Structure 1
Amino acid sequence: MAPEIPNGWTLCASSFNWTPEITAAARTAQDIVTGIADAVTKTIEIEPGLLWRSFPAPEDAEVEALRDGLAAKGGRVSIVGASLDDFTSPTERRTLQERLDFLVPQLHAARRVGAGGVRLPIGQAGTELLTLLQPLLHELDLVLYEEIQGQQTPGNPAVAPALEAIAGLADDRVRALVDISMLMPALPVSYLEELRRGGVSTDLLERLENDWRDPATHNAVTALLRAGKVPPRIHTLFMNLLIRFGRSDATDLQGILPLVGAFHLKFWDLDDDGRRVSQPLRDLGSLLGRSGFTGTLTSEWGGHEWLQDDPTDMTRRHLALAETALTAQTVGG
């Protein structure tokens, strides 16, 4: 009998996986999201900027329509991806009060849609704003998650102060969310193929394929970018090497686990050659199994940037792989 996900762990899917379908608008965004509850999983993390025309001040009718549509399918929202626009113009930054006012309607919408939390990038809010938000988070029974991902390691000078701020608040209503794009033992096979087709040199491709975590590989990537030799047609795709793809190990998370309340199980494709997809999940499952973690673990597909695969099929298959890999250590796998 296959091992089961421990009590307190909730596997979810992100509506982000369906971004190309939502933007194509052949069906309404609400129909697509409620369809996730029908076809994939009942617990869904949503990106309201893709779903609600009235965002970032969501109208009650839009929010309630999604909530009721999901409920009719037995579905619910886990986390809402919030947005904090810090500037009113290219040169004018919002005041602290204006930043608070920008976020408050989103928190109320998250509560109205039935979510348990909202998500922001790590460090964007800052300690002052987090402190102002705490009473409302308690009132609305919400958790604010600050997300760390890609090359944002816990020890990164831009990340460590934000994690220290979360620890200093000592409030379960303010937590960290870790995206396992941090934990990439190797690059996705499909991504490497895109770079090959895009004109990246054989020498660099060999480095990327065989020595992704070697600091010399990072140096080669930045050198090519600074020399202006990245083929223009893949420039945006190439930037993933500097931002979205990480080189950390699961053990690097050990020290911050008490602060973490949720994970994004980021995947790019499902080619598990050398366990490049499943090994980070196995390592994470082992770590969490020893820590007493409770929270959500959300399948998030980033590969739709270059792949045309069906998001429903990809997410179903990824969740099945994730459940097996996360629980592998409980049976000595």
Structure 2
Amino acid sequence: MSIFAPLLSRLVVTYCSIGDYERVLRSVRPTAVLWPPRFYEKIAGGLIAQTETWPRLRRAVYDAAMWVGRRVAEDRWSRRTPSVLLRIAYAAALRGVFLPLRAKVGMDRIRVAYTASAAMPESVIAIWQIWGLDLRECYGLTETTGAPIAHFNQPFPRPGFIGRIFPDPRFQVKIAEDGEMLLRAPLLFDGYWRNPTETEAVFQDDWFCTGDLVERAPNGDLRLIGRKKDVIITRGGKTINPQPIETRLRESSLINEAIVVGDARKYLTVLIEPNTPADGQSAEAVAELLRAEVARVNADLSRVQQLKDFRVLPRSLQVEHGERTANGKIKRNAVVRSFAALIDEMYGANEDAAIANHVRSKSN
């Protein structure tokens, strides 16, 4: 995308830092975008917040446009052709409401929009499609030299799927018994530099083991459902190994177990199982001591690795609940399921909820 496409086409690539992308976006007004989910989510959340401050009449016009947009989106996802009247109404909504709204952030000229590198909330894709942006997911790794899976010829695809294998018989997908996606393609890498052991570990015959768990819909679309290993991929597309962070936390005499979470989230947080507090210490005092331990570990971490919040587990992790193996090892996915509500508290009201509520039809 960055090197060869400009040599083969009229594409001009604009580079910018993460902290500067919104200013550059308004300045360039690009026609094609490939971004991690967090960028789309943050911009959509900001635009929704703007609409909520509009005067009553303008807000009523926007609500009517959203009513039309939701119905057009449902028809698109079901591969139905909207009625003539609905198409006329949507054209008016797009020109009069949605494109001017997108123009505020420089996204009114985009013709091609993809997202990759992390899980994308379905509501975020939905809102951009309602606003007329043909946003699609794609899937690729450094090892695959690009995206062998995407919505290549499926305009306005239903949210929740990463697409289908590239339409060439040399590109193939196989799902292993444990749900891991295996790939075979002409653009696969030959191996890791000077690391034959790791190279051998990721190949089964000539199939590349992606480490991602997927399921295939009857129509061939693939849904990404999780990581086989415990590597965390944040909403911004950053890959983080949680084990070193957890090890640093467990160095504290106050902490028995620490489970870092943040897969497909905006940032990292941690669940803490404390050691039995000393007599006479209140829960508030223990919480302050734990907060100091989290700050100690954060001081040596990069920004994307830092823990933004923590919660104390209400009970110890147990084998009976599937949270530990028989020999005491933590089963991360089981812990996340057991304490999902506690984890959600650490992320609170955010763009996900605002966007999801915005996409849903209002009850009459």
TM-score normalised by structure 2 residue count? 0.24
- Structure number having the greater strand percentage: 2
- Structure number having the greater helix percentage: 1
Higher relative contact order (CA 8 A, sep 6+): 1
Pick the structure with greater CA Rg: 2
TM-score normalised by structure 1 residue count? 0.25
